[in-house]
Amino acid sequence: MVFTPSPLLLKLLYNRGSLHNLPDQQGVAFRIKNRLDTVCLTGVEEVRIGSQVVPASAIELDLDGERRPATSLGPAAGQALELPVGQELTFVLATPPLPAGLHQLQVRFSTDAFGALSVEVEDAIGTIDSHGRIPRAADDDYAEAPIRARQEFAERFTGQAFEHLKQYSFDPHALRGNCEHFVGVAQVPVGLAGPLAVRGEHAQGEFLIPLATTEGTLVASYNRGMQVLNLCGGVKCTVVGDAMQRAPVFVFDDARGARDFSRWVTENLGLIRPQAESTSRVARLQYIDAYLAGKFAYLRFNFSTGDAAGQNMVSRATFAACSWMLENYPGAPIRHFYLESNVATDKKASQINVLRTRGKRVVAEATVRRDVLLQRLRVTPEQLAYHGQVSNVGAFLSGANNNGLHSANGITALFIATGQDVANVSESSAAVLYTELTPEGDLYLNITIPSLIVATHGGGTGLATQNEYLRMLGCVGEGTVNKLAEIVAGVVLAGELSLGAAISSSDWVSSHEQYGRNR
**Of all residues in the chain, what percent carry a pLDDT higher than 90?**
78
b/e per residue, 209-244, with b = 16+ CB within 10 A? bbbbbeebbbbbbbbbbbbbbbebebbbbbbebbbb
- First vs last Cα of the chain: how many Å apart? 61
CB distance 12 to 54 below 8 Å: no
C-beta neighbour count of 287 within 10 angstroms: 12
Q: Look at 133 and 368; give whichever has higher pLDDT.
A: 368
Which positions are annotated as active-site residues?
215, 421, 512
Report how far residue 220's alpha carbon sits from residue 222's, in angstroms, rounded to the nearest whole number: 6
Same fold, 7-125 and 190-242+350-516: no
**Torsion, Cα of 190, 191, 197, 201 (10° steps):** -10
HSE-up (13 A, CA, CB side) for residue 394: 9
Report how far residue 388's alpha carbon sits from residue 392's, in angstroms, rounded to the nearest whole number: 6
What's the pLDDT at 1?
43
- Crossing angle of helices 481-504 and 508-515, in 10° steps, is 110
CATH topology of domain 190-242+350-516: 3.90.770
Report how far residue 212's alpha carbon sits from residue 330's, in angstroms, rounded to the nearest whole number: 53
Cis peptide before 439 (omega within 30 of 0): no
Q: What is the largest CA-CA distance in the chain?
A: 87
**How do residues 165-189 score in pLDDT, each as one tens digit?**
999 999 999 999 899 999 999 999 9
**How do residues 421-468 score in pLDDT, each as one tens digit?**
999 999 999 999 999 999 999 999 999 999 999 999 999 999 999 999
The amino acid at residue 160 is Q
* H/E stretch holding 312: helix 311-328
* H/E stretch holding 498: helix 481-504
Report how far residue 232's alpha carbon sits from residue 372's, in angstroms, rounded to the nearest whole number: 8
* H/E stretch holding 304: strand 296-304
What are residue 490's phi and psi, to 5 degrees? -65, -40
The amino acid at residue 72 is S
What's the pLDDT at 517?
56
**How do residues 240-291 score in pLDDT, each as one tens digit?**
999 999 999 999 999 999 999 999 999 999 999 999 999 999 999 999 999 9
Instruction: Decide: residue 378, CB within 10 A, 0-12 exposed, 13-18 middle, 19+ buried.
Output: middle
* H/E stretch holding 515: helix 508-515
Q: Which CATH number, 3.40.50.10490, 3.30.70.420, 3.40.50.1820, 3.10.20.740, labels domain 248-338?
A: 3.30.70.420
Please tell me whether the overall predicted TM-score, pTM, comes out greater than 0.75 for this model.
yes
What's the pLDDT at 30?
93
Query: Measuring CA to CA, which residue among 196, 225, 198 is closest to residue 209?
Result: 196
**How do residues 97-115 score in pLDDT, each as one tens digit?**
999 899 999 999 988 878 8
How far apart, in Å, are the Cα atoms of 336 and each of 5, 189, 292?
15, 48, 15
Report how far residue 229's alpha carbon sits from residue 79's, in angstroms, rounded to the nearest whole number: 66
Count of residues making up the chain: 519
Confidence category of residue 518, pLDDT binned at 50, 70, 90: low
- How do the domains of the chain map onto residue ranges? 7-125, 133-187, 190-242+350-516, 248-338
The CATH class given to the 7-125 domain equals mainly beta
- Averaged confidence pLDDT in the chain: 91
Mean pLDDT of 389-393: 93
